[in-house]
Amino acid sequence: MSKESGVPTFRDAFGLWNSHEVDEVASRKAWDDQQSRTALLNFHAERWHEVRRAEPNAAHRAIANLEEKFDVLNITQNFDDLLERAGCSNVWHLHGDILTGKCEWHVSAGCLYDNRNYTCDYRTLLQEPVKLGDQCPKCGGQMRPDVVWFGECVDMKPELVKELVSKTEVFVAVGTSAQVQPAAGLLTKFVPAPKKYYIDPRPPRRPRSFTRLKGTAGYYVPVLAKELLAGC
């Protein structure tokens, strides 16, 4: 979704994981190793600047336009704020928000690490990327990006997803690699939706009940949005 705004992807042919080691820059293991924290924070600082420079593209704006006639929920694996800046009012960030920081002792998705008691609830919008030595003003802990790393939990809210599946009339998957769980499981969970679309230059063959629109988000999301609004 955000690639056409200049925000690099992670898993495509030119994605970030082709030039960076996940365990060194985006894992709980790297954060817990004091010697690797600098590399991890530098990596996230680059992502912070990329998002700040980016602007919403035609796909983000088209989704915002759907709110004229539809109750729209955006479930995104992206950690940028381009949907919100385009005008979307309901965005669920599964993997967090790169522009926000939180205390390292913040409880995330009800998960505890190493059986320690994570109790601080401090988080804030960042005016600059997190760096070593940035302390939580509430408890003095080290601040960190408010994103979900490998080895951490994603709060999928199963009861909410179950409710959404029962109510959803149109489900649109855009640009996901469908390789990262638990988010990839949403594709099969929403199979009962009457209308289902998958927009991607290389959409997977399954689930077979999806209408596949083979192309970029910037092209097909506006086309689909216009079609859906015209059918109201």
The identity of residue 129, as a single letter, is P
Residue 187 backbone zone (phi > 0: left; psi -120 to 50: alpha; other: beta): alpha
Provide the terminal-to-terminal Cα distance of the chain, rounded to the nearest Å.
25
CA distance 76 to 93: 5
* Pick from 67, 76, 118, 120: nearest CA to 97: 76
How is residue 135 annotated by DSSP? B
The Cα–Cα gap between 194 and 171 comes to: 8
Active site residues: 95
